[in-house]
C-alpha cells in the first residue's frame, strides 16, 4: 500500500508534465500522439538515431554524476556547463597537438578532459572557500569565460586554414576520434566511461567514509568540523571530482560527437545535468534512466519540425515543465513530512 502510494506520488508530476505537453500540442493544432511518436521514433527509431541518443546519454550521465558529488557536499555547482567546456577545450588541445595511436589518444584526451573540468571547478571552489564568492555566481562567471575562450580559440589561434569561420576548428586527426563500430554512431569507450563513472559515484557516496563525510559537510559545516572533518579540503575535493566528471563529458562531446572544437561545445548538457540530478533527488542510482529519457527527448525532438508543424523547442518545454512539477511535488512533500516528522519522533520515543 505504502509502495503503491509512493509510486503514485512520483508519477503525479510526470502526468502533470504530460498533460501540459498535450495541451500545448493541441493548442498549435497537431495530434499529441503523432508528436509523441515523432519524439520516440526520432530518438530510438533506427540504429543511427539510437547511437546519437546513447552518445547524448553518456555526456548527460557524466555531468549528472559529477553533480551528484557536488550536491552531496551541499554545493550548487551551476558552473558545471563551464566545466564541460573546459574539459572539451583541454581534450581538443591534446587532440590537435599530440600525434599517437588511437588507444593512447583516447586515454590522453579523456585524462585532459578530466583535468580541464577539475581545474575549472577548482577555480569556482577557491573563489568560494578563499574569496567567499557564492559558487553559483563564481560558476556562472567562469562559464561565460569558458564559452568566450572556446570562441576565441576557434577564430584565433586554432582557426581553420584560410577560412575565418565560427563553425569550429578543423576536424581532429582520425586517431583522436573516439573509435566506433560499423554504422553505430556511438563509441563503446564513452559508454564504458559513463557506466564506470556512475558506478564509482554510487559506491563512493554510499559505501565509503569519503561519501559519508561529504554528506556531513553538505548538511552542516559546523557539526562536520566538530567531527574533525577538514571542511575546506572536502569541499574542494567535491568540486574537483564533480568538475572532472563534467570535463570527461566535454572530452566525449568533442572527440566522439563533433570531432572538432565548436563554440560552446557543452551544448547545454551541463545545465541539463542539473535538471537530471534534481529529478533524481541527488541519488546516483536514478541518473541512468532519467538521463536516457532526457537523451531521447533531446534527440527525438529534432524530428518534430521535420514531420509536424511543431518547433523542436517543445522537447525542452516538456523537460522543463517536468522538472518544475517534480520540484513542486518535492516541496509539497517536505511540508507534509514536517508533520510526519513529529509522528516519527513519537514513534522512536515509544
Partner 1 sequence: MSLELRDIHKHFGPVRANDGISLTIEGGTLHGLLGENGAGKSTLMKILSGFYAPDGGEILLDGELIRPSSPRDAIAHGIGMLHQDPLVFLPFTVVDNLLLASPGGSRLDRRKARQELGEMCERFGFTLDPNSLVRTLTVGERQQLEMVRLLWLGARVLILDEPTTGISAPQRLKLFETLRTLAAEGMSVIFVSHKLEEVDELCERVTVMRQGQVVGHAEMPCPSERLVEMMFGSAVEIEGREPIDLGDPVLEIDRLTVNERLLSLDNLDLEIRAGEVVGLAGLEGSGQQTLLRACSGLRSADGGSIAIDGADLTAADYAGRLANGVQFLPAGRLEEGLITGLTLTEHLVLGDPNTPFFVDWDRAEGAAAETITANFIKGRPASTADQLSGGNQQRLLLAMLRPGLRLLLMEHPTRGLDIESANWVWGQLLARRTDGTAILFASADLDELLRYSDRILVFFAGRVIAELDADITDVEQLGFLIGGKVRDAQ
Which residues are at the interface with partner 1 (CB under 8 A)?
Answer: 207-210, 212-213, 215-216, 219-220, 222-230, 341, 344-345, 348-349
Q: Judged by CB, which is closer to partner 1: 1, or 348?
A: 348
* Nearest residue to 253 via CA among 64, 92, 51: 92
Among all chains, which residue has been given the C-alpha cell 535538471? Answer: 275
Q: Which is nearer to partner 1, 88 or 214 (CB)?
A: 214
The region, left, alpha or beta by phi > 0 then psi within -120 to 50, assigned to residue 114 is alpha
Residue 72 C-beta: closest distance to partner 1, Å: 11
What is the smallest separation between the CB atom of 204 and partner 1, expressed in angstroms?
Answer: 10
Nearer to partner 1, 106 or 214 (CB): 214
- Minimum distance from residue 228 beta carbon to partner 1 (Å): 4
CB closer to partner 1 out of 76 and 210: 210
126 close to 239: Cβ distance less than 8 angstroms: no
Shortest CB 76 distance to partner 1, Å: 18
- The minimum distance between CB 142 and partner 1, in angstroms, equals 29
Question: Residue 15 or residue 207: which is nearer to partner 1 going by CB?
Answer: 207
Q: How far apart are alpha carbons 110 and 91 in whole angstroms?
A: 7
Place of cell 502533470: 16
Crossing angle, helix 47-72 and helix 80-97, to 10 degrees? 120
Cβ neighbours of residue 283 closer than 8 Å, sequence gap 6 or more: 68
C-alpha cell at 270: 551541463
Amino acid at each position: 500500500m505504502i509502495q503503491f502510494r509512493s509510486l503514485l506520488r512520483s508519477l503525479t508530476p510526470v502526468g502533470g508534465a504530460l498533460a501540459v505537453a498535450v495541451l500545448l500540442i493541441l493548442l498549435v493544432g497537431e495530434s499529441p500522439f503523432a508528436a509523441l511518436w515523432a519524439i520516440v521514433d526520432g530518438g530510438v527509431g533506427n540504429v543511427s538515431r539510437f547511437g546519437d541518443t546513447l552518445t547524448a546519454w553518456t555526456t548527460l550521465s557524466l555531468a549528472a554524476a559529477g553533480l551528484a558529488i557536488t550536491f552531496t557536499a551541499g554545493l550548487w555547482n551551476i558552473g558545471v556547463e563551464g566545466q564541460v567546456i573546459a574539459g572539451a577545450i583541454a581534450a581538443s588541445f591534446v587532440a590537435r597537438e599530440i600525434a599517437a595511436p588511437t588507444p593512447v589518444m583516447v586515454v590522453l584526451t579523456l585524462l585532459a578532459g578530466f583535468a580541464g573540468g577539475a581545474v575549472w571547478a577548482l577555480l569556482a571552489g577557491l573563489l568560494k572557500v578563499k574569496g567567499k564568492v557564492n559558487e553559483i555566481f563564481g560558476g556562472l562567471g567562469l562559464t561565460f569565460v569558458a564559452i568566450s575562450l572556446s570562441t576565441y580559440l576557434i577564430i584565433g589561434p586554432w582557426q581553420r586554414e584560410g577560412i575565418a569561420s565560427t563553425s569550429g576548428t578543423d576536424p581532429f586527426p582520425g586517431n583522436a576520434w573516439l573509435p566506433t563500430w560499423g554504422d553505430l554512431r556511438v563509441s563503446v569507450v564513452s559508454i564504458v566511461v559513463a557506466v564506470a563513472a556512475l558506478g564509482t559515484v554510487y559506491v563512493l557516496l554510499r559505501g565509503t567514509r569519503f561519501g559519508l563525510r561529504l554528506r556531513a559537510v553538505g548538511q552542516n559545516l559546523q557539526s562536520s568540523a566538530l567531527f574533525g572533518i577538514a571542511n575546506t579540503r572536502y569541499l574542494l575535493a567535491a568540486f574537483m571530482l564533480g568538475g572532472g566528471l563534467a570535463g570527461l563529458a566535454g572530452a566525449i562531446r568533442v572527440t566522439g560527437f563533433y570531432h572538432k572544437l565548436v563554440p560552446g561545445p557543452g551544448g547545454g548538457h551541463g545545465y541539463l545535468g542539473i535538471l537530471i540530478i534534481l529529478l533524481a533527488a541527488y541519488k546516483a542510482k536514478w541518473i541512468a534512466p532519467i538521463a536516457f529519457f532526457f537523451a531521447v527527448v533531446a534527440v527525438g525532438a529534432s524530428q518534430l519540425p521535420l514531420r509536424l508543424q511543431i518547433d523542436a523547442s517543445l522537447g525542452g518545454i516538456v523537460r522543463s515543465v517536468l522538472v518544475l512539477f517534480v520540484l513542486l511535488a518535492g516541496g509539497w512533500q517536505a511540508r507534509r513530512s514536517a508533520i510526519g516528522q513529529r509522528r516519527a519522533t513519537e514513534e522512536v520515543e515509544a
